Amino acid sequence: MKRIFTTLVATLTLLGSRANSFDEGMWLPILLKDYNYAEMQRLGLKLTPEQIYSVNNSSLKDAVIWFNGGCTGEIISDKGLVLTNHHCGYGAIAKLSTKQDNILDNGFFAKSMAEERPASGMWVATLNRMEDVSDQILPNLEGLSEKERSAKISELSQAIEAKASEEGKYMCMVRGLFNDNQFILYVMKRYTDIRLVGTPPQNIGKYGGDTDNWMWPRHTGDFSMFRIYAGKDNEPAAYSEENVAFKPAHSLPVSLKGIQEGDFAMVMGFPGRTNRYATSFELEVQVEDINPVFIRLRDARLKIMLEEMKKDDSVRLLLTSNYAQVANYWKNYIGMTEQVKRLKVIDFKKANEEKFSAWAAGKPEFENVLNNLRQAHNTYKGVASQPYYLREGILSSVVARNANFFKQLRDSLAKKDISDENLQKTIDNFKKNIGRFYTSYNTVVDQRIMAATLNLYYEGVPAEQRAELVNQILKKYKKLSPKQAFEKYAEEVFKKSMFTSLDKVNEFLAKPSLKKLEKDPAYQYARSFVEHYEAKFETQIKAYHDSKAIYMRSFVKGMQEMDAKLVQYPDANSTMRLTYGSVQSYDPKDAVHFNYYTTIEGVMEKYVPGDYEFDLPQGLIDLYKKKDYGQYANTKGELPVAFITNNDITGGNSGSPVINGSGQLIGLAFDGNWEAMSGDLVFDPKYKRCINVDIRYVLFIIDKFHGAGNIINELNLVK
């Protein structure tokens, strides 16, 4: 959205300064030719629009994949070899690790395709085409209530998706843009036979841990490698030893030429969610009421998990993936809160709203929109934290969450007129799925989390808003302090509940009993809080979200009309986007300059033997001492590790290819920087940077550290 505003904050703008070689926006590749191409050429792009996005011919979009629904990856060989981040493959790597074969800690690279390991449950999708289907949806929405509108959008979207899927050949999605003022159909192919090809040890792939997360300078070799397998017809197929390596329409050549400051850099991927149109009212609630609760609850869980993980290596392997997921957005919310305040983002939003109000005056469709949004947020403010206390607190316990899932089975068991066949279908569905809910479960950790989050709920929720069960617990254990009472209560729940053991749950499912389920203490615990939430807050919160959807749709439409001459981009929504800019250093604060790249020298400077986050494998230390960098050194003889660009990215871009002006891979995006943690809310050209692992460091680790020359030989290297 190249949007010009008068602003109270000089560094914040919604229009990139052309002179500084950056351009805000997560753009739709289908519109590249009309909106962005000339500027991209000016910055150094040498490709045609059709070489980036084409339906009928091979293009870059064919090499960019949606990785497991939450990340991005890129195909880098004509045998379906996929590169993505280490943290994107982390769950699969941890799942494939055992004490006897600990590839998470030791690393692994297959020396042949026969050694590649099936990553069960993982999938990727390639994009076939995009199509604007707004004219098939919008005319049918006039005069509908928000509930009716949502239902109609769902109905029409499903019909469009069904037709485009060609009887299941394609995975299709209709997604709304600009707060459902526009709709795009995405036609994709989904592949489920995905195999792990290789991963560095986590003290390379996750080097720096939580301390360095969201920070620059960075020294993390954040990559892992997988391969897509397909049937002999090259079509998606379930796992089979008969499957063959997928033959992509396009794979990215890999550049060894390196980078310089000012070089063109383009990122393609599947960014998850941004909220660039958020109002000042929404941000005030987010920063003052929601974020502190989210941070406190996750902080408590993380401390408990880490304490137990350090005691027992098997617990560490079991919980490490879940820990990383919880920690990632815990630190994100801390950074977001800090930067929203430091950069005065709320003041910036208020200035934009003043401009909008002046423009909207006398326009019936828009003149009351901001007042309506203000009133909606004022009523929401007092209850905004309640969903987070429930989700991030009470139901963050695996036992509580699993017990709550059984509400559906309880309702089926309670139905007097349900047929034996339908009841058995429900039971069979639970039998089929329940195991996956215990894959990252440890009894000691979970019991401690239940007690700790109960205590935080008690401390943070006003007395008049608390669930009655809290008072009952305090009364039952009145001789104890509240903290001790909740610990004692959690201990009793874990002694008596069947949900503390998958075996006990399966025994119950073999002979389910309504009476036994309703008497289970974990079920009673979970349902008491959920039912309290549903009775006291759900209607109000749902009404707020419905009202907000209506008013935000009008607000965004008005913003588009106000600046109708300017090219605008929609918020991210986990669909393919493109962002372009250049390699750029930055100054985070007065008298401090951050260079645009890091080297292995910085890796060694951070090295702390035996440390949980900054230990290193001896093999890497030996290579450093020998300065054995081979063809992966830069012109100064240094081994580059990471670099930064001013590309506009967010969560979901993890693993995205960073591509030079010739369409060659130069790195993988893996993080954003601390100084721009408000980036999902507003683009800040002075501070916003995309942190990338240099492809030369990736190849160095594969080749020199792991000795996987077979992988290097498979790539199209450009020197």
User: Is the pLDDT confidence value at 88 over 70?
Assistant: yes
CA nearest to 21, candidates 583, 682, 569: 583
Domain boundaries, the chain: 18-123+192-276+571-718, 126-190, 280-548
pLDDT tens sequence across 507-523: 999 999 999 999 999 99
CA angle 82, 86, 91 (to 5 degrees): 100
pLDDT reported for residue 568: 86
Question: What would the two tokens of residue 683 be?
Answer: 């683009």
Give residue 294's pLDDT band: very low, low, confident or very high (50, 70, 90).
very high
| Strands 171-177 and 182-191, bridge-based pairing | antiparallel
**Length, in residues, of the chain:** 719
Rounded Cα gap, residues 369 and 366, in angstroms: 5
| Cis, peptide link before residue 217, omega less than 30° from 0 | yes
Contact 130, 30 (CB under 8 A): yes
Helix axes 345-360, 539-562, angle to 10 degrees: 70
Cα(6)–Cα(14) distance, rounded to whole angstroms?
Answer: 10
pLDDT at 175 > cutoff 60: yes
DSSP H helices in 176-227:
202-205, 209-212
Contact 84, 222 (CB under 8 A): no
pLDDT at 16: 31
Q: What one-character-per-residue DSSP string does 4-53 give? A: ----SSTT--BS--GGGT-----B-GGGHHHHTHHHHHHHT--S-HHHHS
The number of beta carbons lying within 10 Å of the beta carbon of residue 599 is: 23
pLDDT higher than threshold 70 for residue 47: yes
Residue 702 in this model has a pLDDT that exceeds 70: yes
Residue among 331, 328, 349 at smallest CA distance from 340: 349
CA dihedral angle for residue 109, residue 115, residue 118, residue 119, rounded to 10 degrees: -10
- Cβ(403)–Cβ(363) under 8 Å? no
Closest CA to 259 of 602, 663, 702, 667: 667
The band of 436, judged by pLDDT with boundaries at 50, 70 and 90, is confident
Rounded to whole angstroms, the Cα distance separating 186 from 132 reads: 9
Measured between alpha carbons, how far is 572 from 267 in angstroms, rounded to an integer?
14
Look at residue 9 in the predicted model and tell me its pLDDT: 31
Structure confidence at residue 565 (pLDDT):
82
Question: How much is the average pLDDT of 52-56?
Answer: 96
Longest dimension (CA), the chain: 78
DSSP H or E run through 513: none
- Residues of the chain with pLDDT > 90: what percent? 93
Q: Are 107 and 204 in contact (CB under 8 A)?
A: yes
Per the CB < 8 A criterion, the answer to whether 374 and 281 are in contact is yes
Give the residue ranges of DSSP H helices in 268-312: 280-285, 291-311
pLDDT band at 564 (very low <50, low <70, confident <90, very high): confident
- Given a cut of 90, whether residue 10 has pLDDT beyond it is no
The closest alpha carbon to 455, from 480, 420, 424, belongs to 480
From residue 41, how far is each of 22, 100, 254, 441, 685 by CA, in Å?
13, 53, 21, 52, 20
Among candidates 658, 683, 674, which has minimal Cα distance to 583? 658
In this model, does residue 491 exceed pLDDT 90? yes
Q: Is 60 exceeded by the pLDDT of residue 281?
A: yes
497: pLDDT strictly greater than 50: yes
Catalytic positions are 87, 222, 654
Confidence of residue 18 (pLDDT cuts 50, 70, 90): very low
Our CA angle for 306, 311, 312, nearest 5°, is: 105
The whole-number pLDDT of residue 34 equals 86
Short-list 692, 653, 655, 695, CA closest to 673: 692
pLDDT at 99 over 50: yes
Please determine, for residue 17, whether its predicted confidence score (pLDDT) is greater than 80: no
The SS3 of residue 203 is: helix
pLDDT, residue 490, reads 98
- d(CA 8, CA 283) in angstroms, rounded, equals 17
3-state per-residue secondary structure call for 227-254: EEEECCCCCCCCCCCCCEECCCCCCCCE
d(CA 21, CA 593): 18
Q: Are 185 and 130 in contact (CB under 8 A)?
A: yes
Confidence label for 553 from pLDDT (cuts 50, 70 and 90): very high
Strands (DSSP E) found in 452-611: 577-582, 586-589, 592-594, 597-599
Comparing 563 with 272, the larger pLDDT belongs to: 272
Distances in whole angstroms, Cα of residue 283 to Cα of each of 8, 192, 280, 520: 17, 39, 5, 41
Secondary structure of residue 420 in the 3-state scheme: helix
Helix, strand, or coil here: 708? coil
Contact (Cβ atoms closer than 8 angstroms) between residue 340 and residue 287: yes
Q: In terms of Cα–Cα distance, which of 16, 72, 14 is closest to 39?
A: 16
- Tell me, what DSSP letter sits at residue 571? P
348-362 pLDDT tens trace: 999 999 999 999 999
* Enclosing H/E stretch for 65: strand 64-67
pLDDT at 22 over 80: no
Q: Looking at residues 140-164, what average pLDDT do you find?
A: 96
**CA-derived radius of gyration, the chain:** 26
Look up residue 117 and give its amino acid. Answer: R
Rounded to 5 degrees, what are φ and ψ at 278?
Answer: -55, 140
Q: Rounded mean pLDDT of the chain? A: 95
Residue 339 CB neighbour total at 10 angstroms: 21
Alpha-carbon separation of residue 495 from 193, 401, 444 (angstroms): 41, 17, 12
Q: Kindly tell me if the per-residue pLDDT of 173 is higher than 80.
A: yes
CATH hierarchy code of domain 18-123+192-276+571-718: 2.40.10.120
Instruction: Give the pLDDT of residue 24.
Output: 87
Residue closest to 89 by CA, chosen among 73, 76, 110 = 73
Question: What is the pLDDT averaged over residues 541-563?
Answer: 95
Query: What CA–CA distance (Å, rounded) separates 10 from 580?
Result: 22
Please state whether beta strands 182-191 and 124-132 pair in parallel, antiparallel, or not at all (unpaired). antiparallel
pLDDT band at residue 23 under the 50/70/90 scheme: low
- Rounded distance between C-alpha atoms, residue 679 and residue 275, angstroms: 9
pLDDT of residue 547: 95
- pLDDT of res. 540: 97
Contact yes or no for 124/194 (Cβ under 8 A): yes
Q: Are 521 and 493 in contact (CB under 8 A)?
A: yes
- 712 Cβ contact list (under 8 Å, min separation 6): 699, 702, 703
Report H helices in 111-265: 146-164, 202-205, 209-212
Taking alpha carbons only, the member of 328, 345, 105 closest to residue 215 is 328
> Do residues 312 and 306 make contact, with C-beta atoms less than 8 angstroms apart?
no
